[in-house]
């Protein structure tokens, strides 16, 4: 069941000149794929997700699911399930009652509902917690309950609203892998909202980057990461730093003393060069951009260096653990052949 | 203060507190007045004591403003208590814990976190109290003396020699305008702050024990208050057992016998006492109207809290309107409205039930609104996403979490219906006599003994009813831990 948005807009208030939360966006989510809607706070991603869910209706535009126009339909008429950021577990019901809620409301008999709920709980790895109240569970357990509750209804589309933001780092990785595995095993269509890029890159078939109510770019993770199409995406994804550069008539782009040939050609004029932290090459004596090491941080498998250069402060990640730099040294920086992209100056 | 003591204080106070604080609600409006008169009136005990100890001549100082203020204070505190109890329960313990982690001692946590979170409840309680006082009829009419208030003026404008409907209407307008002003003020104060504290993540925090200074202050205020309440009631009870107050203090059961005697007749029990007729009628009508009022009130609160629709402000205003209208005006307007076909309802029980409903609706709405402000929206939404219809959501998710509000609405509706005077004084007939009007009749005849005996019986009855409702509807299961209970238990705090 694919999802399609056609020129969907959403206003905040009821007046016709209220600010737009979402401004005429269009995209497709293919059936059986996991699409992440990524963006900073306030970009409209949660609003978009809620419109897919049916909790909000668009001010204009159309939403199509499985070929059917569902724009005016409520959540129960679309075969959609959602996992809330706050989990929204009913505090006065036990785990089993929570998970079987959807089935009971759909008319399934209590005994059947309980059995299917127990199944769903064991699928997410929670056995023996049936009679606990949500307040008696840890964050990770609560999340699994919320997941089981959404899955037990066997929905065609599953929505996640920043599901991992309340978990610690290791649990986050485990859970995102579980979610991805689940999605692939059951061939679910999943829309996933997050502000965490690594999460997005790790689990998605498609990423939609949103910025101030618009779609900045949509595509496969590699494409988003390696070929950003505008300044926002270039800066947002992968912690790239943006520098002002100049594109020459011959196609070469110059960045300070450095020159390189970009992947796509740009017409002559000012451009922005986005360089990811891992795309800098550090040499002790060479030709290139002179840099003075201000700060160094050791993170186990790599170093984070901040250099002061004529372009400003440059943030570099180096996996070279043998040649450790001490603060204060002068180095030269060069560009690698990956991780550098050029976008038109906005 | 009493709500805080009830919810956060030591366990042994909670039970009696809840019962005692409810007492002034379940009494007809004039009982408090009469009891206070027995204490402070001209022939009252306190004045007589003052005379015998200090030689101060008894005066009528109590009648008029002091008496009304004191009586209303007693009458309306319990309502605030019920509203605030639900709100205090709803304050998320993890917020207090967060404050304490941020270096605030208990005192500062209390004043900077707990109290501000109680604002919606306080504002609501204030609004309720203010408007109740505006429209109060029973106390001013017993204690007012020369001090006239708008509600009694309306009454006299209709019932007295004047029969000036225009004057009554004008006075009613003034009252209504006041209520609207207060309503607007409350909206301005509350603003759009977010008070969500019952959310979908089971709150595993433990509510903070009250800081010492606060606790002592609260106990210092609440306990004497409660003690005094008990004294007033004891006196009111005593009035039913005493032959003639002020002169002959011999104990007797005559009054009770006159009102409530039973005999075995030819066909079974014969309700001989004079009071039975009115009692059954009142019980029947109140029991009919209470669930309906509570249901409709909460429904309206839900509509207002969870849905945005055009004309919402107008709707809320209309729900509040029933509050601001003094009972006497309501009664009169019902007569005028339902006296002509096709809605010829005067003289029937139905009009009284309708009157009850309309009168008590606002409290259900207010209690519901305060409770809804604390309930996280995502719980509703989660239910909807799980294929539940609106009705199912209301029944399985909203209502259980709203139990304190439901109890407050039920209790208040039932009890108010049983004890209301002003609205129904025009609507009773020989067939449909109500307890309160019957009592007033007795008081008018000077039959204080029977009147007070009846009051006593009423109060006992209504205590039983309240206990029953509490037991049936149960406490709200929020799944919060208490300070001394193990993790595996799941009893509500």
CATH number of the domain bearing residue A75: 3.40.50.300
State the smallest CA–CA distance between residue B402 and chain A in angstroms.
Answer: 11
Q: Is the pLDDT of residue B196 over 80?
A: no
What is the tens place of the pLDDT at every residue in B251-269?
667 666 666 666 665 655 6
- Point out the domain boundary residue: A226, A252, A277: A226
Among partner residues A81, A82, A136, which is closest to B490 by beta-carbon distance?
A136
Q: Which is more confident, A89 or B200?
A: A89
- Point out the domain boundary residue: A197, A226, A255: A226
Distance (Å, rounded) from C-alpha A207 to C-alpha A217?
8
Q: What are phi and psi of A221, to 5 degrees?
A: -55, -45
Of the listed ranges A73-77, A83-87, B342-346, the one predicted with least confidence:
B342-346
Q: Which is more confident, B23 or A99?
A: A99
Contact list, B396 vs chain A (CB under 8 Å): 101, 105
Q: Can you give the C-alpha Rg of chain A in angstroms?
A: 24
DSSP symbol at B209: P
Same domain, residue pair A28 and A157: yes
Distance (Å, rounded) from C-alpha B295 to C-alpha B299?
6
- Point out the domain boundary residue: A168, A192, A226: A226
Is A249 an 8 Å CB contact of chain B? no
State the smallest CA–CA distance between residue A55 and chain B in angstroms.
Answer: 7
The average confidence (pLDDT) of chain B is 70
Tell me if the pTM is above 0.90.
no
Same domain, residue pair A331 and A293: yes
Q: Is the pLDDT of residue B221 over 80?
A: no
Same domain, residue pair A160 and A220: yes
Same domain, residue pair A116 and A156: yes
Same domain, residue pair A214 and A239: no
For residue A240, what are the CA distances in angstroms to A226, A232, A313, B493? Answer: 11, 10, 12, 51
Distance (Å, rounded) from C-alpha B42 to C-alpha A35?
82
Q: Give pLDDT, residue B262.
A: 62
Q: Give pLDDT, residue B486.
A: 27
Please spell the DSSP secondary structure of A206-235, one letter per residue. Answer: EEEEEETTEEEEEE-HHHHHH---SHHHHH
Same domain, residue pair A313 and A172: no
Contact list, A81 vs chain B (CB under 8 Å): 385-386
What is the band of A208 on the pLDDT scale with cuts at 50, 70, 90?
A: very high
Contact list, A75 vs chain B (CB under 8 Å): 384-385, 387
Q: Are B93 and B206 in contact (CB under 8 A)?
A: yes
Mean pLDDT to the nearest integer, B129-140: 72
Specify the DSSP element, H or E, that contains A62. Answer: strand A60-65
Q: Give pLDDT, residue A220.
A: 94
Of the listed ranges A66-75, A142-151, B410-419, the one predicted with least confidence:
B410-419
Same domain, residue pair A194 and A208: yes
- SS3 track for A235-271: HHHHHCEEEEEEECCCCCEEECCEEECCCCCCCCEEE
Written as six digits, the tokens of B82 are 């019920």
- B200, B313, B394, B493, best to mutate vs chain A, most A CBs in 10 Å: B200
Mean pLDDT to the nearest integer, A184-199: 89
Mean pLDDT to the nearest integer, B21-33: 66
Q: Give pLDDT, residue B438.
A: 78
Q: Give pLDDT, residue A317.
A: 92
Same domain, residue pair A45 and A146: yes
Q: Is the pLDDT of residue B101 over 90?
A: no
Domain that holds residue A102: 3-226
Q: Is the pLDDT of residue A114 over 80?
A: yes
Q: Which is more confident, B360 or B85?
A: B360
Among partner residues B386, B477, B488, which is closest to A105 by beta-carbon distance?
B386
Of the candidates B191, B188, B141, the residue with the CA atom closest to the CA atom of residue B326: B141
CB contact (8 A) between residue B386 and residue A53: no
Same domain, residue pair A325 and A307: yes
Same domain, residue pair A253 and A198: no
Same domain, residue pair A240 and A188: no
- B93, B377, B386, best to mutate vs chain A, most A CBs in 10 Å: B386
State the smallest CA–CA distance between residue B408 and chain A in angstroms.
Answer: 19
Is A75 an 8 Å CB contact of chain B? yes
How long a stretch of residues is chain A?
A: 346
CB contact (8 A) between residue A105 and residue B387: yes
Q: Which is more confident, A232 or B245?
A: A232
Is A89 an 8 Å CB contact of chain B? yes
Of the listed ranges A91-100, A115-124, A135-144, B114-123, the one predicted with least confidence:
B114-123
CB contact (8 A) between residue B199 and residue A86: yes
Mean pLDDT to the nearest integer, B357-363: 80
> Which range in A17-21, A143-147, B290-294 is most confidently predicted, on average pLDDT?
A143-147
Written as six digits, the tokens of B73 are 């204070």
Among partner residues B383, B397, B480, which is closest to A135 by beta-carbon distance?
B480
CB contact (8 A) between residue B381 and residue A81: no
Q: Give pLDDT, residue B29.
A: 66
Is A117 an 8 Å CB contact of chain B? no
CATH number, domain of A337, equals 2.40.50.140
Of the listed ranges A151-155, A183-187, B159-163, the one predicted with least confidence:
B159-163
Asked if the interface predicted TM-score (ipTM) of this complex is over 0.85, the answer is no
Same domain, residue pair A249 and A181: no
Q: Give pLDDT, residue B211.
A: 72
Q: Are A190 and A159 in contact (CB under 8 A)?
A: yes
Which chain A residue lies closest to B478 (C-alpha atoms)?
A92
Number of domains in chain A: 2
Q: Is the pLDDT of residue B76 over 50?
A: yes
Q: Give pLDDT, residue A8.
A: 93
State the smallest CA–CA distance between residue A51 and chain B in angstroms.
Answer: 12
The C-alpha angle A74, A80, A85, rounded to 5 degrees, equals 100
Other C-beta atoms closer than 10 Å to the C-beta of B15 total 10
Mean pLDDT to the nearest integer, B466-486: 54
Q: Give pLDDT, residue A175.
A: 85
Domains of chain B (ranges; CATH) run 2-473 (1.10.3720.10)
Q: Give pLDDT, residue B160.
A: 63
Q: Give pLDDT, residue B392.
A: 87
């Amino acid at each position: 069941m694919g999802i399609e948005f056609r020129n969907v807009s959403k206003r905040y208030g009821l007046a016709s000149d209220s600010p737009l939360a979402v401004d005429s966006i269009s995209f497709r989510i293919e059936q059986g794929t996991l699409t992440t809607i990524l963006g900073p706070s306030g970009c409209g991603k949660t609003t978009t997700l809620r419109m897919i869910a049916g909790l909000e209706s668009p001010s204009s535009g159309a939403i199509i699911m499985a070929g059917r126009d569902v724009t005016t339909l409520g959540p129960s008429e679309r075969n959609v399930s959602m996992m809330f950021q706050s989990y929204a577990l009913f505090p006065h019901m036990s785990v089993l009652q929570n998970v079987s809620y959807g089935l009971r409301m759909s008319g399934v008999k209590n005994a059947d509902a309980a059995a299917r709920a127990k199944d769903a709980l064991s699928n997410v790895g929670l056995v023996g917690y049936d009679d606990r109240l949500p307040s008696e569970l840890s964050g990770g357990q609560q999340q699994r309950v919320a997941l089981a509750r959404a899955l037990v209804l066997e929905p065609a589309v599953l929505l996640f609203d920043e599901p991992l933001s309340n978990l610690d780092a290791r649990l986050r990785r485990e859970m995102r892998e579980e979610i991805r595995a689940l999605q692939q095993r059951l061939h679910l269509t999943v829309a996933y909202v997050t502000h965490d890029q690594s999460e997005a890159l790790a689990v998605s078939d498609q990423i939609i980057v949103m910025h101030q109510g618009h779609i900045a770019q949509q595509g496969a993770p590699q494409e988003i990461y390696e070929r950003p199409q505008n300044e926002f995406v270039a800066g947002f994804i992968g912690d790239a730093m943006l520098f002002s550069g100049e594109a020459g008539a011959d196609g070469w782009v110059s960045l300070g003393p450095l020159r390189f040939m970009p992947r796509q050609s740009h017409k002559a004029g000012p451009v922005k060069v986005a360089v990811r932290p891992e795309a800098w090459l550090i040499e002790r004596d060479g030709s290139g951009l002179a840099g003075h090491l201000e700060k160094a941080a050791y993170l186990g498998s790599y170093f984070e260096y901040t250099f002061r250069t004529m372009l400003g402060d440059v943030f570099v990640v180096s996996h070279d653990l043998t040649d450790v730099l001490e603060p204060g040294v002068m180095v030269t920086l060069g560009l690698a052949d990956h991780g550098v992209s050029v976008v038109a100056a906005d | 203060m009493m709500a805080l003591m009830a919810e956060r204080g030591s366990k042994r106070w909670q039970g009696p507190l809840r019962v005692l604080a409810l007492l002034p609600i379940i009494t007809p409006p004039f009982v408090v007045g009469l009891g206070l008169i027995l204490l402070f009136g001209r022939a009252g005990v306190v004045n007589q004591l003052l005379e015998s100890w200090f030689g101060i001549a008894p005066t009528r100082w109590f009648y008029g403003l002091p008496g009304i203020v004191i009586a209303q204070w007693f009458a309306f505190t319990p309502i605030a208590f019920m509203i605030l109890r639900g709100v205090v329960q709803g304050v998320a313990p993890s917020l207090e814990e967060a404050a304490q982690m941020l270096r605030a001692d208990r005192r500062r946590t209390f004043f900077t976190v707990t109290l501000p979170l109680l604002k919606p409840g306080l504002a609501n309680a204030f609004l309720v109290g203010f408007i109740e006082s505006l429209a109060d009829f029973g106390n001013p009419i017993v204690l007012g003396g020369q001090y006239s208030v708008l509600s009694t003026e309306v009454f006299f404008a209709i019932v007295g020699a004047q029969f000036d409907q225009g004057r009554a209407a004008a006075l009613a307008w003034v009252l209504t305008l006041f209520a609207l002003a207060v309503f607007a003020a409350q909206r301005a104060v509350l603003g759009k702050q977010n008070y969500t504290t019952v959310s979908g993540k089971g709150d595993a925090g433990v509510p903070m024990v009250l800081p010492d200074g606060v606790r002592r202050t609260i106990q210092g205020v609440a306990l004497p208050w409660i003690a005094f309440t008990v004294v007033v009631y004891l006196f009111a009870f005593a009035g039913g057992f005493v032959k003639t107050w002020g002169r002959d203090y011999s104990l007797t059961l005559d009054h009770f016998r006159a009102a409530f005697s039973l005999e075995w007749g030819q066909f079974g029990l014969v309700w001989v006492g004079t009071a039975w007729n009115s009692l059954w009628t009142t019980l029947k009508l109140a029991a009919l109207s209470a669930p309906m009022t509570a249901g409709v009130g909460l429904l309206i609160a839900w509509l207002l809290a969870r849905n945005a629709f055009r004309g919402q402000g107008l709707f809320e205003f209309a729900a509040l309107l029933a509050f601001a209208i003094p009972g006497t005006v309501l009664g009169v307007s019902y007569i005028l409205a339902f006296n002509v076909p096709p809605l010829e309802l005067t003289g029937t029980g139905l009009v009284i039930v309708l009157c009850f409903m309309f009168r008590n609706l606002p409290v259900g709405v207010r209690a519901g609104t305060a409770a809804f402000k604390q309930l996280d929206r995502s719980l509703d939404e989660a239910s909807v996403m799980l294929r539940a219809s609106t009705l199912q959501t209301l029944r399985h998710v909203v209502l259980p979490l709203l139990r304190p509000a439901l109890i407050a609405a039920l209790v208040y509706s039932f009890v108010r219906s049983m004890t209301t005077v002003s609205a129904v004084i025009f609507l009773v007939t020989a067939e449909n006599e109500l307890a309160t009007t019957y009592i007033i009749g007795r008081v008018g005849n000077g039959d204080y003994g029977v009147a007070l005996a009846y009051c006593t019986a009423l109060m006992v009855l209504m205590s039983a009813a309240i206990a029953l409702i509490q037991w049936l509807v149960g406490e709200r299961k929020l799944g919060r831990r208490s300070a001394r209970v193990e993790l595996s238990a799941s009893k509500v705090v």
